[in-house]
Homo-oligomer: A and B are copies of this chain.
Amino acid sequence: MHVLITGAAGFIGSKLSKALAERGSLGDAAGKPVPISRITLLDVNEPRPPPDAAVEMRLQAGDIRDPEQLRSALTPGTKAVFHLAAVVSGQAEADFDLGMGINLDGTRTLLDACRELPEPPKLVFPSSVAVFGGEMPEVIRDDTLATPRTSYGAQKAICELMINDYTRKGFVDGRVMRLPTISVRPGKPNQAASTFASSILREPLQGEQAVCPVPVETGIWIMSPRRVIAALLHGCDLAAAMWGEQRILNLAGLTVTVREMLAAMERAAGTEALERVRMEPDQQITRIITGWPARFDSQRALGLGFQADADMDEVLRIFLEDDRITPGA
């Protein structure tokens, strides 16, 4: 089968293309593993192939809003699409039209391009905790109403509904997974309101200073990059029948407070690391973050075989093993 990854130059896209190339197979509609013969990496920035990939990699730089780009990225053999291309929360809030263009129109364009394929491909779509906001129950369940209070969240919730309906119509075989905030992300801070959830750990562990813009008692629902990749692959592998009619799923994440995150870092790297974090409350970010729920009843995800990180120490160990850039390197 052929596989397409959009937003492939991002950090999840890079880790996913590496994991797919190493694995060499994906589940078909019935969940049976089928060899991958080609992976197409599409991104607005020139994507780079994973080193030493044993699978044929096609690289394509292009805009997700352009139907022609998508038609050329998809082949009659495309059986799975990982649609990671997105504008992050802070950016979608600051530039409404860009968010609507990439997050909504881009997804619609992709769905319509998938409809033209001879067979409905699996479509894996990471959604977000940002579909929740405002008045919410204390614990979010699978049947909790999505009440986004950011444009990013609204765009994700709209895409969820579109993918569910395109799936019902048999145009795609959609699998929507609402991701917790990813921590610890490698690289640099981005425009996501939640970027601090990585930078307050990543920077100190790499010998740099960091700013924490929210109070230490702030609760947050997180997942390590390794678990995110595993979840996207598992969600794709699962037979269509396991997903059933409702293709929108809250993943199983780890609920921690910022205080617990910092305490785990102190255990892992000492007081020295902790002292690199400066508390500098930012009202705008605190408002967005405390508007997102932190506690989930992830019954359905666990029943489908998805897994959460065990604890904050594991989350940090994964960062140190997979992504830390040694200070001075």
Contacts and interface: CB of A to CB of B under 8 A. Distances in A.
Contact of A145 (B143, B148, B165): B143
Given A134-B245, A143-B145, A245-B134, A161 B165 contact: no
Nearest to A163: B154
A188 interface: no
A148 B163 CA distance: 12
Contact of A149 (B134, B135, B245): B245
A157 B145 CA distance: 12
Counting every copy of the chain, the complex holds: 2
A148 B134 contact: no
A229 interface: no
A145 B164 CA distance: 14
Q: Which of A96, A144, A157, A161 has the most chain B CB within a 10 Å cutoff? A: A161
A239 B267 CA distance: 54
A162 B158 contact: yes
B168 A149 contact: yes
A169 B145 contact: no
Interface in A150-184: 151, 154, 157-158, 161-162, 164-165, 168-169
A147 interface: yes
Interface of A: 96, 134-135, 143-149, 151, 154, 157-158, 161-162, 164-165, 168-169, 245-246
A161 B146 CA distance: 9
Contacts of A146: 145-146, 161
Contacts of A165: 148, 151, 154
Q: Which 5 A-B pairs have the closest CB atoms?
A: A154-B165, A145-B145, A143-B145, A158-B158, A154-B161
Nearest to A131: B161
Contacts of A135: 246
A96 B168 CA distance: 12
A169 B143 contact: no
Contact of A162 (B144, B154, B245, B246): B154
Contacts of A246: 134-135, 147
Given A147-B246, A154-B165, 13 more contacts: A135-B246, A143-B144, A144-B145, A145-B146, A148-B165, A149-B168, A151-B165, A151-B168, A151-B169, A154-B164, A157-B161, A158-B158, A158-B161
Contact of A169 (B96, B162, B164, B169): B96
A161 to B, nearest CB: 5
Nearest to A165: B154
A39 to B, nearest CB: 30
Contacts of A245: 134, 149
A178 to B, nearest CB: 13
